[in-house]
Amino acid sequence: MSHHVVPVKTYLAVFACLMVFTVITVAVAFVDLGPLNNIVMLGIAITKAILVVLFFMHVKYSTRMIPLVAASGFFFLLILFGLTMQDYLTRGWLGAGSPWGH
Amino acid sequence: MSTAHSTSLAHQFDSLEQQKESANLGMWLFLAQEILFFGGLFAAYMLYRWREPEAFAAGSHELDITLGLINTVILIASSLTMALGVHAAQTNKTRALVRWMVATGGLGLAFLVIKYFEYSAKFEHHLVPGPSFFFEPPIGGRAEMFFSLYFAMTGMHALHMIVGIGVLAWLLPRAARGMYNAEYHNPIECFGLYWHFVDIVWIFLFPMLYLIGRHYHAVGG
């Protein structure tokens, strides 16, 4: 297999999905779902990103090395978020005062 | 090894397949680094939004949701035209490749023009962080961090778009000369990966900046 040519129909279907998700995410933003708003918004954004990565960026059709490198980027992103927040969210726990200096 | 004598094959590779795989891998390593580059801004956003949720919601209300939505549609459409451009290259359709590349660049420019008008409005409304920043009480200056992050994140995103359009302008005459075909189209494919990555960044920026706390509107900010 020299390279997989993704059919145009697949690209159009992915584009249609991305448009539908965009409309849903705007509509949901105007409905009060409490903390669920953020979860739905983030869930839709992640779903859209996965669609782009798998189909537009051909990761679904690539060799295993590519998904590994792509996933490693997101893995280190989670370490960045996780370690940053575990610091700031827990600074007040031992009575060390506010992390913001006031 | 039927392809060993192809002019598209650089001498350090055994086959076109290996050459293509290396180019893709290199591009993905660059993009993994880009994920972390934007990740710093996203981490700052997360932290300050956790600190000031009301100020972020109030700041978000000042952004033009219609222009943001139009730009989202434009950018996703440009990803589609880019994907169709790669498809055209893979199927030896030089003229279609050029057409889709022009469409991609055109949509990218349209995005930047809309962004320019959005930025201008923020300057007029004193929403640019600095000495002239003004935000209605009771939120007041607490909204400044939202706008700092808004300009840093969308500005860095726009810079990536400008670089992308520059690279596209460099690729375009080469594509028109028929340099890219089913056998060799690594530059088009790698550029496509970059363009789609920039699209993904916007897919996250749009809800995070334009859509937070929209349902609070009834109670006011």
Instruction: Report how far Cα A19 is from the mean position of its chain's Cα atoms.
Output: 16
pLDDT score at B1: 45
The answer to whether A93 and B49 have CB atoms below 8 angstroms apart is no
Q: How far apart are CA B143 and CA B57, in angstroms?
A: 9
Query: Does B214 sit within 8 Å of A29, measured CB to CB?
Result: yes
Query: Does A18 sit within 8 Å of B35, measured CB to CB?
Result: no
Per CB-CB distance under 8 Å, the chain B contacts of A6 are 83, 87
At residue A97 the predicted structure's pLDDT band, cuts being 50, 70 and 90, is low
Who wins on pLDDT, A81 or B7? Answer: A81
Q: Using only the alpha carbons of chain A, give its radius of gyration.
A: 20
Establish, for the pair of chains A and B, how many residue pairs have beta carbons separated by less than 8 Å.
134
Tokens of B67: 């222009």
For B123-181, write each residue's pLDDT tens digit: 999 999 999 999 988 899 999 999 999 999 999 999 999 999 999 999 999 999 999 99
Q: How far apart are CA B63 and CA B53, in angstroms?
A: 16
pLDDT at B36 > cutoff 70 = yes
Environment class of B124 (CB within 10 Å of its CB; exposed 0-12, middle 13-18, buried 19+): exposed
The answer to whether B7 and B19 have CB atoms below 8 angstroms apart is no
Query: Does A29 sit within 8 Å of B24, measured CB to CB?
Result: no
**B91 and A CB contact within 8 Å:** yes
In this complex, which of A12, A15, A85 lies closest to B76 when CB atoms are compared?
A15
Which A-chain residues 43-72 have CB contacts (< 8 A) with chain B?
Answer: 44-45, 48-49, 52-53, 55-58, 62-63, 65-66, 69-70, 72
The answer to whether B221 and B61 have CB atoms below 8 angstroms apart is yes
pLDDT at B213 > cutoff 80 = no
Who wins on pLDDT, B9 or A4? Answer: B9
**A88 and B CB contact within 8 Å:** yes
The residue-averaged pLDDT of A37-47 equals: 95
Measured CA to CA in angstroms, residue A24 lies from A28, A44, A45, B34, B72 at distances of 6, 8, 11, 28, 13
**A32 and B CB contact within 8 Å:** yes
Q: How far apart are CA A25 and CA B208, in angstroms?
A: 11
Average pLDDT over all residues of chain B: 93
At residue A100 the predicted structure's pLDDT band, cuts being 50, 70 and 90, is low
Distance (Å) from the alpha carbon of B127 to chain A's nearest alpha carbon: 23
For B95-128, write each residue's pLDDT tens digit: 999 999 999 999 999 999 999 999 999 999 999 9
Q: Which residue of A has its CA nearest to B89?
A: A5
The residue-averaged pLDDT of A70-95 equals: 90
Q: How far apart are CA A83 and CA A86, in angstroms?
A: 5
Structure ipTM? 0.91
Count CB-CB contacts under 10 A for residue A64.
6
Q: Model pTM? A: 0.92
**B149 and A CB contact within 8 Å:** no
Torsion of CA B143, B144, B147, B153, to 10 degrees: -120
pLDDT score at B74: 98
pLDDT at B220 > cutoff 70 = no
**A75 and B CB contact within 8 Å:** no
pLDDT at A43 > cutoff 70 = yes
Count CB-CB contacts under 10 A for residue A28.
18
Query: Does B215 sit within 8 Å of A30, measured CB to CB?
Result: yes
In this complex, which of A2, A52, A85 lies closest to B46 when CB atoms are compared?
A85
At residue A93 the predicted structure's pLDDT band, cuts being 50, 70 and 90, is confident
Per CB-CB distance under 8 Å, the chain B contacts of A81 are 39, 42-43, 46
The residue-averaged pLDDT of A75-98 equals: 86
Q: Is A36 helix (H, G, I), strand (E, B) or coil?
A: helix
Environment class of B118 (CB within 10 Å of its CB; exposed 0-12, middle 13-18, buried 19+): middle
The answer to whether B87 and A5 have CB atoms below 8 angstroms apart is yes
The residue-averaged pLDDT of A13-35 equals: 95
For B62-73, write each residue's pLDDT tens digit: 999 999 999 999
Distance (Å) from the alpha carbon of A93 to chain B's nearest alpha carbon: 16
At residue A57 the predicted structure's pLDDT band, cuts being 50, 70 and 90, is very high
The answer to whether B48 and B88 have CB atoms below 8 angstroms apart is no
Q: How far apart are CA B75 and CA B33, in angstroms?
A: 22
In this complex, which of A12, A56, A100 lies closest to B196 when CB atoms are compared?
A56
Measured CA to CA in angstroms, residue B55 lies from B49, B133, B137, B145, B157 at distances of 8, 14, 10, 9, 23
pLDDT at B87 > cutoff 50 = yes
pLDDT at B8 > cutoff 90 = no
pLDDT score at B218: 43
